[in-house]
Structure 1
Amino acid sequence: MKKLFLFLSVLSIGTTLLIQNNTTVNPEKETAVINQLLDDWHKAAANTDYNGYFGKIADDGRYIGTDAAENWDKKAFEAFSKPYFDKGRAWDFKPVERNIYFSKNGKVAWFDELLDTWMKGCRGSGVLEKEGKEWKIKHYVLSMTVPNEVTQEVIPLKAKYEDAYIEKLKEKK
């Protein structure tokens, strides 16, 4: 009897672990859900809906902005952004292209998107994690795009600001 109980216990635990580790994701459904979440997130900023915007970022989420010094946890990004939302003038990023990918277990997704912004073309990329039944943005990176044809013209403009910052970071190592 003990052997049968032990066998059934091991079988039950093994089956549970197998099911948990092989969760299949319905890519079409989850892609639609994530597209809607990201579209709503961008619209919340455009409409200065502070709670709608920050509610989509995980509590331990990160936001990396276009400036080399912009590497914020959620709390710091909220503090930086609040005055813009309070004045009714946040940002309006419109996605024109987006790709979404999933981990094998379907609990993590990553994406890249091309955005039409006041800075012209920008690239957004990020990681989302499913918390219960809800996707949350864990990490987002916003970058300005630079056409290859004008890179040499842009470098001196960036260098004026970034050389000192990069040296300061190197000194910290």
Structure 2
Amino acid sequence: MASPMIQSYEKHMAMDVEAVLHMKEGLGETSYAQNSSLQKKSMEALKKIIMDSALDVYITQSPESFTITDLGCSSGPNALFIVGDIIKTIAGICKMLSKPTPEFSVHLNDLPTNDFNAIFVSFPQFVEGLKIGAEESDRPSVYLAGLPGSFYGRLFRESPYILYALPLACIGSLRFL
């Protein structure tokens, strides 16, 4: 067990990281939302791997609910980019297999200074986009949660239940390079 002095130092350092590292909030000209094309290109390069992983989890587990967790999501249009593709693809497979579409729980994590409001404001439009072309019985139910905090610490409660999650941490951490 670490000494109280080390624990205090670690806590102090964690708070400094959360206070110092953040993206420019909002949707203005200098915001992250307007200046994240490099991150989108990185996401597009990794998309096939992420989609294959999501499909593998769904096909092998067939969960009634599917959790997607993006660690380091930041804000702006990239936050839900691959999440939407995962949901549409799984819903399409369910329709093809005549199975009910699972409920989707989307956890978006970033430092507390992230402008989660920009994501939450865009969420209803995101969900409406998922419904386009889908029959009413095939429309996915999607629930969104923001998880402010460092992914180097604990973000979820302990649970005796298996959480099927697809962490998109590899994408999120690219934003800090």
Task: Work out whether the TM-score is over 0.5.
Answer: no
Whichever of the two has the greater Rg, that structure is 1
Q: Which has the higher contact order (CA 8 A, sep 6+)?
A: 2
TM-score, with structure 1 as normaliser: 0.30
Structure with more helix by fraction: 2
- Using the size of structure 2 for normalisation, the TM-score is 0.30
